[in-house]
Amino acid sequence: MKELSLNILDVTKNSVTAGADTIRITLETSPDGMLVFSLEDNGCGMSEEVVRRVTDPFYTTRTTRKVGMGLPLLKLAAEQTGGYLKIESSTEAGKSGTTLSAAFDTKSIDFMPLGDIVSTICVLISGSPDIRFVFKDITPDGTVFLDTSELKAVLGDGISLGEPEIIAWIRDYLTEQYKERKGNLQK
């Protein structure tokens, strides 16, 4: 993967497949340059056995396609910067779900740039307009935030978040927030 935002798109699709109705994507960069990406879903979760093996690229079998290259690639991207990947999961009825966090040292020469995270979020929402996505990108310069439940509240039931006009609005909404934050940085 050429950009971290592509890894994020890829692994977030696991949460979609797990049947989650709420998915939280958080990026948090600390002043010392450590970036933590966390993904929290309320999907079906994984057994301890599966959690132990999901980062093994050879665990998957082509026929079941239950697990793929997504997590091994994310783990590699994190570890090659001196970071880590942690996965916690529960299959307990009523509180099932998975929380994943990946830490990156953005100062490392092996850190893949975040890239076009706005496109990643737009693609996720257009692919699964009924899932609630909560996205936060927190840095010392400010926070970019989107909660699709707020948009749903405005749009009502009649209009899908996946409509191209709505996706275009979301793209502009996020892009503006990033521009504003960049403005803060320059001040």
Partner 1 sequence: MKTLAELAAIRERMQNNVIVREGTASTRVVVGMATCGIAAGARPVLSAFVEGVEKAGLLDKVTVTQTGCIGICQYEPVVEVYEEGKEKVTYVKVDAAKAAEIVEKHLKGGSVVTEYTIGAIK
Can you give the binding site for partner 1, defined by CB under 8 A? 1, 6, 9-10, 13, 65, 68-70, 73, 116, 119-120, 122-123, 126-127, 150-151, 154-156, 158-159, 163-169, 172-173, 176
Pairing, β 142-147 against β 132-139: antiparallel
**124 within 8 A of 118, measured Cβ to Cβ:** no
118 within 8 A of 171, measured Cβ to Cβ: yes
Chain center to CA of 2: 16
Element (H, E) at 103: strand 97-105
How many Cα atoms are found within 13 Å in the side-chain-facing hemisphere of 89? Answer: 22
CB 124 within 8 A of CB 6: no
Burial zone of 54 (CB within 10 Å; 0-12 exposed, 13-18 middle, 19+ buried):
buried
Q: Would you give the DSSP letter of residue 187?
A: -
Q: State the minimum distance, in angstroms, from the CB of residue 94 to partner 1.
A: 28
Q: How far apart are the C-alpha atoms of 149 and 47, rounded to whole Å? A: 30
